[in-house]
Amino acid sequence: MLHLDRIIPLLYQHKKFLLLFTLGITLAAALLVNVLPTEYKSVATISPVNIQLTDKAKLFNPNIKDLYSFFGSGDDIERIESANDWISIYRAIVVENNLVGYFKIQEPDSSLRIEKAVDILRKKLYAKPTEKGQLQIIAWAKEPDTALLWVNAFRSKINLRMLEGIQLQYNTTIQELRNSLQKLQQEFIALSAVRDSSEAENVIRETKIQSIRQLIANNITITGEWQQALAAIPDVLIVLDGAIANKSAVRPDKLVVITGAFITALLFAMTWVIVYHRNNLQ
């Protein structure tokens, strides 16, 4: 077993090997990071809006108008984070920005070129939750402006996709109310057209007409509320810290990589010398 008083002289004895090995690995790492293309990072910090804010009762019921928090919960954050798996959004960004050419993908099949570009983009553009209950949209690109463009495009398309889902629900409800109104109006017209009836039948018919008239009035009121709520749907995402074309946030970080390579190579070389010498002693 080697003790410290024997390890230090042993390492000093092999100082030439330690020096050459460490410098060789460090030089190789330095060459590698200079060959690798530099990528710039752009980040937008966002928070989802509480999805309950789209409830129309918030506009028309004073008892619950202040019930909901403005910012979303963990479930809302997870829902937005799932955009990392929404291939159609990535595909749209690829097509709109001609990223097949940007990534220099050589493939005779155009569909396959797009899919390969999507795979590359998903590694460079993604949403990531923070420890403070927020969400970051992060992009890495060869130019700062391109990274900024990707972040803004991703955020905009996520917001639009979520809004479309909410608007579809509202429009479906409004259409169902309109269909119901049409049936009520037809029934009202049919009852109003009846003339030759007994007094008892006229009383019953008049009661039905009054009931339908009230249903029509309620339908029109409710439909108007849904239409107003549709127009008042807020954006799904709130930008807390907008993205910028950051020229200082880069990868690989050359200083970190070279320093890490130097330390790792030195520790490896020292360990190898100690283990090799101990095995020879046995």
What does the chain come to in residues? Answer: 282
**How far, in Å, CA of 101 to CA of 68, rounded?**
46
The tens-digit pLDDT sequence of the chain (282 residues) is 556 667 778 788 888 888 999 999 999 988 888 877 888 999 998 887 766 655 666 656 655 555 555 555 556 667 776 777 788 899 999 999 999 999 999 888 888 999 999 999 999 999 888 877 788 899 999 999 999 999 999 999 988 888 888 889 889 999 999 999 999 999 998 888 877 667 777 788 888 989 999 999 999 999 988 888 888 787 788 888 888 888 877 777 778 888 998 999 999 988 888 888 777 765
The pair of three-digit structure tokens given for residue 96, joined into one six-digit string: 């709109």
Helical pair 87-96 and 110-124, crossing angle rounded to 10 deg: 110
pTM to 2 decimal places:
0.70
Output 240-243 pairs: Cβ under 8 A, ≥24 positions apart.
240/45, 240/46, 240/47, 240/134, 241/43, 241/44, 241/45, 242/44, 243/42, 243/43, 243/44, 243/137, 243/139, 243/147, 243/148, 243/151, 243/152, 243/155
| The two structure tokens encoding residue 109 | 């099949």
